[in-house]
Chain A
Amino acid sequence: MPIPATSSVTGPAEAGYDALVVVVRSPEDCSYPEVAATAAVDSGAGAKVSVMAASGVAGGRLVLTPTGPLTRDFGEPLPRPGAVLARCHGGAGQAA
């Protein structure tokens, strides 16, 4: 039952790693040009995990994973899992 070897590093291109996972509040939190390019063409980049090719980072692979705002008082107002499942089962709309 191994746990991966862990260590603390100080840069995005440390040897021995094959992907960079960037935890941000929103894409604007980091300065990678690939993230800015993705955010420019995908307005949803701040709300989902995005995998992109990137130079100068571990493995040439960058995974952007946003937390969303850390200051909001409430989360999503709709029952998101239900809405998603409804669509999966053929629902065209929803009512709450």
Chain B
Amino acid sequence: MESKVGRQLPDDIMNELGFKPFETTDFGNPVIQRKAPKVRASTGQGKVVNSLEDVVKKTVRDGMTISFHHHFRGGDYVFNKVMRVIIDAGYRDLTLAPSSLTGVMNDTVVEAIEKGVVTNITSSGMRGSLGDAVSHGLLKNPVIFRSHGGRARAIEDGDINIDVAFLGVPNSDVMGNANGMEGKSAFGSLGYALVDAAYADTVVLVTDDIQPYPNTPASIKQTQVDYVVKVDEVGDPDKIGSGATRFTKDPKELKIAKSVNDVIVNSPYFKDGFSFQTGSGGAALAVTRFLRQSMLDNDIKASFALGGITKPTVDLLEEGLVGKIMDVQDFDKGAASSMRLNKNQQEIDASWYADPANKGAMVDQLDVAILSALEIDTDFNVNVMTGSDGVIRGAVGGHQDAATAKLTIISAPLVRGRIATVVPKVTTVVTPGDSVDVLVTEVGIAINPKRTDLIEALSNIPGLPVYTIQELQERAEKVLGTPEPLKFTDRTVALVEYRDGTIIDQIREVED
């Protein structure tokens, strides 16, 4: 079978797992029966457990689905500590369902796969040695990659049935009232973990800081929590988020950022009360700075900024240029530590953020999204998952979700070294071209031909040449040469889910 973006999908696996191929970006208005978690009633006696060994023994059984969040990012200790206990105890056939997998978890996951402890994985992404191992066929069953909104949907609908969620928190009381914004390992928003706390059958909080009862503000509530475990340290504060945000000096990134700003300012969406989401890359941060100046110059204020938050966005909030920050995760310390100071920096869960199977998600209200790309093809399909060698080295993240914005801008260099970013066909389709509106490169922009309104609005802007995306692709190929096609085996190592639960593409095992 084939998804609507023309990708062949493996019939046998699709049928076995009950997946349907991707059809449309329009979710429609289906009526959905959500799953409810099991609740073991308690007055709260005996929630505190002294060791991870004890809590794992109480909660985990062979074949279960266990989850983690990735808000500690590169400074996470919880995942490796819990998984060490699980691996050493010799559990089998677990499904790993974290919100994402960061580089510090790679060695542990590879070991767990090799020992048969983990036999299924669903995640937003994976990189480094783990992505390499999976792309070379280490895991027998295909990984299911889901967006942050898609994961929330899958958990609510029961596609992911979490038996035990191990959620690291920088503070908690003995009953399990906890937040992400206080304590020495604070990371800000608990956005992705809140879905796990609400839907997992068993919720285990792991913390290094027990606060007096009742601990407030409580993002995770005692009504949701089965066990609280105290460990020495939950994370490395220096590695949780990047420190001071670096403003790019790369002239190519600055040129792209300025052009992105030109696109926004000249679009019909740049008016008082508009909303936006930017990512965390160098160019995205530079866009925030250019956008600030344009907002000042034109006396325009944004109603909200959405998604993963960085310090420059918090600065806009504190300056009064942005009304609210709707914060599902924090990319740097400045954003993480400002959450408890700014009442207008609202923590939102992944479902509120981006779940399509909802009575309205924030991404549906979003005017402008600025997103990155490893590759974008002449149908505007975007790959943020596999590298130029075909190996898994990325994450869906909120890409598919934020791309539902009214103006979705992909900001990317035309070429990276000898690798073209604009290609005839992307290696892996993650975000369908239907939801992408404008590509901004250092040489010019390309507008999705379906957006005739934007073609009219954005043509004839000084310093902003408009090309067709085919012209940009040919220009890149002329400079770089035509690459040999990548070689893959017939084996499927991963499926990429669209946010509605259909499958948009597969990732096959690389052939070396």
Partners in one complex: no
Q: Interface on A for B, CB 8 Å cutoff?
A: none
